Structure 1
């Protein structure tokens, strides 16, 4: 796909803003929209155009990316009175990068098809660090020929980009990702809590265990943040709880019981009740009250 295409990006939060910076660095024509305009101001200063609604952002654009909070936000952004489908031109491609419901991804795909618009569901993994470094993992569902058209753009901010299958397959793959993170985060926190109670030098412990069989992205990247007390979000707890609920609901539809993620959701709900919803997922360490 030519990099002269006109692009809109709706949702300039922690990860979305970094993705837009990569698009601007590639000297692409980018229009942005965010519910909170102040979040987009630094991007406008870098050369992005501002739109006041998703409808305005989508008008006359070739590629329309979305990365918002919850499935209800996705539905509103696409199908609301000021939504994308009110103005997107025929032949446009919409790409939802929100972690959302596979069933909603299929609904958007069908609604787009009726308007002669192509649709991809393309959730990502890698957090704020991956977005900043342009090394996100991108899991894509939709028509493969559309995926191939968008791939050069994905490569501007992703390093592990895999076509997963038909509409909804990207979201199902992201659920597999979130299930691993949910249970792994319990292990990371309990390992650090154990090291703390045993009076060990936790940084030395991480040095020993992070490259062996126990190694994981969460241990290597979020473990040090836990030790430093850095709870700022690469990914919000409130959004992670949303993801776990989606995974549990989808699993129930498939008659699959997932006790691990149910426990993780219970622990995170405890933190949400204590006011940690706007903190990063590494704040689970607060459950163990080490200070």
Structure 2
């Protein structure tokens, strides 16, 4: 693939997808887009992106298609249905799924792609809306090594830490490791701030001391300030985090592995979703303790 002349497709213009597609456009690529809700792609269309009505038309027009969708069932539909990507992709094309999805599904899609001479990579990301906006995402990739090397120039436009993890499904399994670590960390971060408040401390001052020490984390530095500002808008949706934790728990069960910390985190986030916060950001976990104080 001549990556400099390739036509790039992007399906899934959400909180992160819009920034990711925008970075590719800024590098001079011709970018075609498809989104279930067309209005969400309007900003990119105003900048010169080309609209396609279906995943099939997107695949027919592009040499590489990147997807950033919501749920595994969305991925399966966009890739495999009659008007999906795999049935209509050009021979020799590359399909890169950057959704956090099922490792098992990633392996199935890669096999379907191989049958048609198409390279299918699973390349989920970490870094949230901030990482997407700043092109600083961590991208973890599974699939054929040669396919990874062919599309690496595109991945480098969107991320600053791109690691090839192994065969198909390895990217998704790596993302599960990431989500497991975040889940327990978010509980600890939230409890630390609630403790600071209860102890009569200024949590912002506490943050200055602990964010650069052994307790430091992305969540502590980037999401705690949002908590304290009462900003619970999504860099990453709670509903999608619950989805990710569910995938990780299912995968762990298949391996005979118990993950009690992850189970607890999932149960807390489900309570939060049931309370009406499913479309808020993961930092809204703070609301559980705020609600307890109010009661």
User: Which has the higher mean CA deviation after the structures are superposed, 278-287 or 79-88?
Assistant: 79-88
| Residue of structure 1 equivalent to 2:220 | 219
**Unaligned ranges ≥5, structure 1:** none
Question: How high is the TM-score relative to the length of structure 2?
Answer: 0.97
Superimposed CA distance per residue, residues 256-284 of structure 1 (whole angstroms, 9 cap, x where no aligned partner)? 00000000000000011011000000000
Retained in 1: the 8 A contact 2:16–2:129? yes
2:239 corresponds to which residue? 238
Cα offset for 1:131?
0.2
Shift of 1:81: 2.3
Rounded Cα–Cα distance in structure 2 between residues aligned with 1:35 and 1:86: 19
Q: Hey, what does 1:3 align to over in structure 2?
A: 4
- Measured on the aligned residues, the alpha-carbon RMSD in Å equals 0.8
1:27 partnered with 2:50: no
CA distance in 2, matches of 1:262, 1:46: 43
**Pairs within 5 Å for 1:1-291:** 1-289=2-290
SS in 2 for 1:17: helix
Question: Structure 2: how far apart are the matches of 1:83 and 1:276?
Answer: 32
The runs of 5 or more residues in structure 2 that have no matched partner are: none
Supply the distance in 2 between the matched residues of 1:189 and 1:38 (Cα, whole angstroms): 35
SS in structure 2 at match of 1:287: helix
Structure 1 position 85, deviation (Å): 1.9
| TM-score, length of structure 1 as denominator length | 0.99
Note the C-alpha offset of 1:3.
1.8
Q: Which runs of 4 or more aligned residues in structure 1 lie more than 4 Å from their structure 2 counterparts after TM superposition?
A: none
User: For this pair of structures, how many residues does the alignment match?
Assistant: 291
Distance (whole Å) between structure 1 residues aligned to residue 201 and residue 171 of structure 2: 41
Tell me how far apart the structure 1 counterparts of residues 203 and 274 of structure 2 sit (CA, whole Å).
28
Q: Contact 2:3/2:154 (CA < 8 Å) preserved in 1?
A: no
SS in 2 for 1:14: coil
> Counterpart of 1:274 in 2: which secondary structure?
helix
In the alignment, the residues of structure 2 paired with residue 179 and residue 81 of structure 1 have an alpha-carbon distance, to the nearest angstrom, of 35
Contact residue 106 and residue 172 of structure 2 kept, 8 A? yes
Paired residues of 1:8 and 1:61 also in contact (CA < 8 A): yes
